[in-house]
Structure 1
C-alpha cells in the first residue's frame, strides 16, 4: 500500500491504519499484563552463567528467600539448562507424588555421564530403572535385616569403637568427626562386602575411607561442570582430580567384585555383593550396573548417616536439658546391662522425637538430587516444558514458619502429642529422604543406624560443651551434605 501523497502528507487511509495498529498493540500489551503468565516467574540472570552467581554458599537458603518473593515454583537459569525450583509441601508433593512419573527422570549432567546410565540414583526414569531399583532395594534390605548378617551386630561393634575412642580423651575436648565417619563407613562397607574382624585394620577399608574423604572435600569447594560443562577445558586440574577420584572409587569396587566372584557360591549368599552377583548371573544386571549399584549404596548409606549422627551429638551437647531427657529414657527402657536394640525404638518416643527434630533442623540434604521433566506438563498453574530441570527445595519444608512456628529452634517436643506419642502428621511436613519414585534407597538403613549409634553412645557418655565454648554454631559446610563446621565435645562416662 502506498501511504504517501504528492504533497508529502500521509493519506487518511494510512492514518487510520497507523492508529489502528498502535491501539491494537497497546491493547495486546494491556491484556498480557492482566493475564497471568503461564511461565513461572523468577530472577533475571546474566549471560552464559544464568542465575548461578546469585546462589550463594547455601543455595537452599537463597531459594527459600526467593520462594517468599516468587512463590512455590519459580524459574532460574542453570548455565545452559532451563530450570525451576519447587518449594513448599503442596508443590513438592504435586511434583514428586501426583506427577511423579513426569518429574522422576534425571538431567543428563556431565558428571553423571560417567555412570553410563547404570546408576539407581542418577539414571533416567525408565522401566529398566524401576526393575533395577527393586532389585537393588531388595538386596540391601536382605542384608540390612538378615539374621545371618544383622545390622544390630555390626552397628553395636561400631558403637564399641566409638565408645573406646571417646574414652581415650579422658574427659578432654575432642572433635568426634573421624570416629563417627569411620563407624558409619564400616557399617555400609560390611553390609556390602561381608562382616570382617578388625575391619579398621583392613587395607582396602582404609583406602575406601580415605577416598570418600577426598571426594567429600573435593565437592565441598563446588563442582561447576554440570551447569557449565565447557569449564572442563579451562579448569583442567580440577577436572582431572574429579576423574581420578571417580576412577579410583570404581577400581576399588571392581576389585571387591572380582574377589567375590572367585569365592562365590550360589547356595551361600554372604553379603550384598554376593546377592548382586547372583542377580547378574540370572541376567538381571551386568557387571557395570553391579558396581554402580554398590556406589549408590555407599552414597545412600554412609556420609548422610555419619553427618546426621554428628549433628545430633552436637545438639545433645548444646542442649543439656534435652539430653537429660534422652538419658533418662535410655536408663528406663534399656538400662545399663544390655545394649539398645531396634525393638526399643517404639518405647523411646522422646529419643525418636530428638532424632526427627535433628533431621528437620539441620536439613543435611536440603536439595534433592535434581529431577527432570520428561514431558510438557503443568505444575501449580505454570506450564513446565519437557527437559526442564527441577530443583526440589526440601529445606523450604523444614523451615516453613507456617508449619513449625519457630523453625530455627531445636524443640523435639513439637513431634510429640499429649500422650507422648509421635505426631505422625508432622512427619509428612518435612522430607529428609525426599519422596516418590526417587526416595532415598538408604532411608530404612539410616533410621535404624542413627538410632543405634545415638542411643549406644549416650548410654555410655554424657556429652558437654568444652568450658571455653559459649555456644555452638549451626552454620554448615556445604558439600555432599550440610556438615557441621568442626566442633569439640567433652564425653563424661556415665
Structure 2
C-alpha cells in the first residue's frame, strides 16, 4: 500500500510538473504572439529594410563608407528603407525627390537631432550649440541671429574677408615656392590657411597670426578633435559602454573642455576691450547682443549666444580646407582642366590684379570646375543625423517619432541616372549648350544640404573656396610627381571625406 501511494504520488507530481511546463510554454507562446502582433501593428506600412544582427542591428554591415552601403541597399529596397543601430531605429533617405521632401516639404518633422550620449545636454555638450540643439522656436531664433552676425563680419569693412584670404594665398604660395619643385603634401599649408581665415572672422584680424600661441593652440586642438571624432564613439549607440571603456569618454570630455575654455578666454578678452562703435569681429557682434539686453539675449541667454562661435568654426573650417586639398589633387591629376581654368583667370583678371568675388560671374568654366570638385568629392555624404520630431507619413510609409534619419546626399551627387559617369571628373558636365552654367544640374546635388539644418557657413564656404582656388591657380601650377603613377582617390576614416595623404609638385607661374 505504501508503494502504491508512493507511486501515485510520483505520478501526480509528474502530471503537475507537465501541467506547469505546458502552462509556462503556453504563456511564453502567447506573450511572444502578442509582442509579434504589436510589432507588426506598430510597423504597419513601415519602410522595408535588410535583416540585422541581434543587439548590434546593422552596425556590422555598414562598412567604412556607410553612404556607399546605403547606395547599394537602395537598389534593393528603394529610396527609403529602415535599419537598426543598436537600440536606435533609423531611416535612410536617398535620391533627390525623397531628400527634398524630407528636408524641405516636411522639414520641421525631420529637423530634430538625436540625443546621442556625446551630444546630449547630460554629457559633454550643454545643449546650447546650433549643430546639435533640438529643433524648436529657440533654435530658429538662434540660427537667424547667427546668420546675421556671420554675414555682417564676413563682409565688414573692418574685417574684409577678401584681404585676409589674399594674405593667406601669399603665405601659402611662399611656402610652396620654398619647396623649389620638390614633391610635398599640401595638407598643412591648406589646413593652416583655412583655419586662419575663420579664426580672424571670429576673433579679429591679426597680421602675425601664425606666430601667436592662441592660434597655434587652436590648430592643434582642432586636429586632435578631428582625429578623435573621426573614429566615431560606440558610446553613442551603446551608452552602457561608458562603464566598460570609460577612457573614450574621458578623452572626449577633455577635448571639449579645452575648446570651451579657449573660447571663454577669447570672449573675456573681447568683453574687456569692447567698443560698441567699433565692432571688430563676430565675437564683438555677440558681445554687442549680450550687452544690449536684446530680445535674443533675453530668450537665448549669453551662454548659448557665445556657443555660436564654436558652430562658426565647425561650419567654416574643415569644409574649406578639405575642398582645397581635393582641388590641388584634381588639378595636379588633370592638367588640361587646370590649363583651362588658368586661361580663364588670365583672360578675366590678368597676372597682376587679384581675383575678387565680382569676377565670379565672368569665370564660368572655373565655377563649373568648383562645382565638379564639390560633387565628386561629396565631403559630407550623410550630413549630421536628423531625428523625427513627430509621427508622420513619408513616401507612403509610416515613420515613428524619435527615429534617427540619415540623409544620403551621396545618392544625389553620384546618381548614375543623373550624371551618367559619376565617378569621372568632368567639369564640362555643368555647362549647357551655350557654355553657361546649367543651373538645373545645381539642383541635383547638395554639398551644403538644404532646409532647416542647412550648413550655416554655406555662403562663406563658397566665397572662400572661389577666392582660394582662383588665387592659387593664378600664381601656381600643380602637377603629379613622376614617382606617383596614379593618385589614390580613396578617403580616410571619418565624417568628412578627406583625401589620404598625397604629394604634388608646384611651379610658380609668375
TM-score, normalized by length of structure 1? 0.92
1:204-283 equivalence runs, <5 A: 204-281=214-291, 282-283=293-294
Q: Distance in 1 between matches of 2:202 and 2:498?
A: 25
Q: CA deviation at 1:239?
A: 1.5
Is it true that 1:321 corresponds to 2:336 in the alignment? yes
Instruction: Say whether the 8 Å CA contact 1:216–1:480 is kept in structure 2.
Output: no
1:26-175 equivalence runs, <5 A: 38-113=45-120, 114-175=124-185
Q: Distance in 2 between matches of 1:379 and 1:410?
A: 34
1:164-215 C-alpha deviation (Å, 9 max, x unpaired): 1101100110000000000000000000000011111110000000000001
Secondary structure at 2:93's aligned position in 1?
Answer: strand
Counterpart for residue 469 of structure 1: 484
98-107 vs 40-49, which moves further: 40-49
Secondary structure at 2:259's aligned position in 1?
Answer: helix
Secondary structure at 1:124's aligned position in 2?
Answer: coil
Counterpart for residue 346 of structure 1: 361
Counterpart for residue 22 of structure 2: none
Q: CA deviation at 1:220?
A: 2.4
90-99 vs 218-227, which moves further: 218-227
Counterpart for residue 294 of structure 1: 309
The answer for unaligned runs of 5 or more in structure 2 is 1-32
Secondary structure at 2:109's aligned position in 1?
Answer: coil
Q: Distance in 1 between matches of 2:307 and 2:157?
A: 26
The answer for unaligned runs of 5 or more in structure 1 is 1-24
Q: CA deviation at 1:37?
A: 5.6
Instruction: Say whether the 8 Å CA contact 1:51–1:78 is kept in structure 2.
Output: yes
Instruction: Say whether the 8 Å CA contact 2:142–2:305 is kept in structure 1.
Output: no
Secondary structure at 1:327's aligned position in 2?
Answer: helix
Secondary structure at 1:491's aligned position in 2?
Answer: strand
Q: Distance in 1 between matches of 2:283 and 2:149?
A: 9
User: What is the RMSD of the two structures over their aligned residues, measured on CA atoms?
Assistant: 1.5
Instruction: Say whether the 8 Å CA contact 1:56–1:62 is kept in structure 2.
Output: yes
Q: CA deviation at 1:264?
A: 1.0
Instruction: Say whether the 8 Å CA contact 1:111–1:225 is kept in structure 2.
Output: yes
1:20-55 C-alpha deviation (Å, 9 max, x unpaired): xxxxx9xxx9xx9xxx96111111121221111111
Q: CA deviation at 1:471?
A: 1.1
Instruction: Say whether the 8 Å CA contact 1:250–1:291 is kept in structure 2.
Output: no
Instruction: Say whether the 8 Å CA contact 2:91–2:404 is kept in structure 1.
Output: yes
228-237 vs 268-277, which moves further: 228-237
Q: CA deviation at 1:288?
A: 2.0
Is it true that 1:395 corresponds to 2:410 in the alignment? yes
Instruction: Say whether the 8 Å CA contact 1:280–1:287 is kept in structure 2.
Output: yes
Q: Distance in 1 between matches of 2:167 and 2:309?
A: 23
Counterpart for residue 19 of structure 1: none
